[in-house]
Amino acid sequence: MLDVKRMVMLRDLAQHGRVGSVADLHGVTSSAVSQQLRTLESEAGAPLVHREGRTLRLTAAGAALAAECEHVLAALERAEGAVRALDDDLSGELKIGCAPSAISAVAAPLVAELVARHPRLRPMIVQSEPEDAVPLLRQQGLDLAVSYRYHLLGTPPPSGTIAVPLFDDPLVVAVPDKLVASVREDGLGVLRDLAWISAPEPSTCREILVHACRNAGFTPRIEHSCVDLRSALSIVATGHAVTVLPNLLCDSPPPGTAVLPLPGRGRVIEALVRAGSERQPALAAALAVLTGGPAGER
């Protein structure tokens, strides 16, 4: 019989390509991961990996087994949900990762409504960007993640998850008041010679800013980096820089800053759950709140 935890390690190796990365995900040593993979090979009766220098590569059998891992995990999630659905007492912890920009608009109302509907349920918010939330979700460190993806980048939902769209968050350009008329008349191109503000690399928000500017015919000169992009509006207010942001980050621009819509679609705010877990009672209750479903929906 194949061990599921070892299959998960093989899946993670297929995704990340390095034993060290798998070890970090599971909180063990690299030698422990290698030992578990050797044991999985014995269970499978076939070689699953081969070494190329300091890198492990999956064999055809290893790739086939890794691909089946998500189906096995989804079936186990459904089985667990079937058991939990027999218990009418909706209680316990529900760990919810949430992108910082969506905490006010999504996470806070979710907590309030969940507690009102299910007093014994304890929702716990963990602020986390998608690149941090998705690994935690896949490793069961989170039960649900409120995340986002930019339409322009065309990134599919992470493997092993189900994405439930919540709403679209359009892109805007934030400029000093003195530039409003010029941008409205001629678009982003009039900002080509200005300093720009964006998130530090790597960042999908930064990628989108660069995409938007290049579509307008220039490459932005990014001089300022802000982890908290909402604070970028304060730099815009000085009159010496501009930026492109999701609209959710621009609910209270400081005096001297104007926020103008950009054409096209921005990003989708979505809820992510592990495939097969969406019918577990606590998660179904959270999804019902997020999508406007009835209080009793599961």
Domains and CATH numbers, the chain: 4-84 (1.10.10.10), 92-168+268-290 (3.40.190.10), 171-264 (3.40.190.10)
Residue 296 has a pLDDT of 41
DSSP state of 17: -
Q: What gap in Å lies between CA 93 and CA 157, rounded to an integer?
A: 25
pLDDT value of position 265: 87
> Of 212, 213, 249, 219, whose CA–CA distance to 234 is shortest?
249
Look up the pTM and report it: 0.81
Residues with Cβ within 8 Å of residue 257, at least 6 apart in sequence: 174, 175, 176, 177, 233, 236, 237
Answer for the pair 195, 221: CB distance below 8 angstroms, yes or no: yes
Nearest to 171 by CA among 196, 151, 146: 151
Q: Are 46 and 38 in contact (CB under 8 A)?
A: no
- pLDDT beneath 70, residues of the chain: 53-54, 86, 88, 293-298
What's the confidence (pLDDT) of residue 91? 85
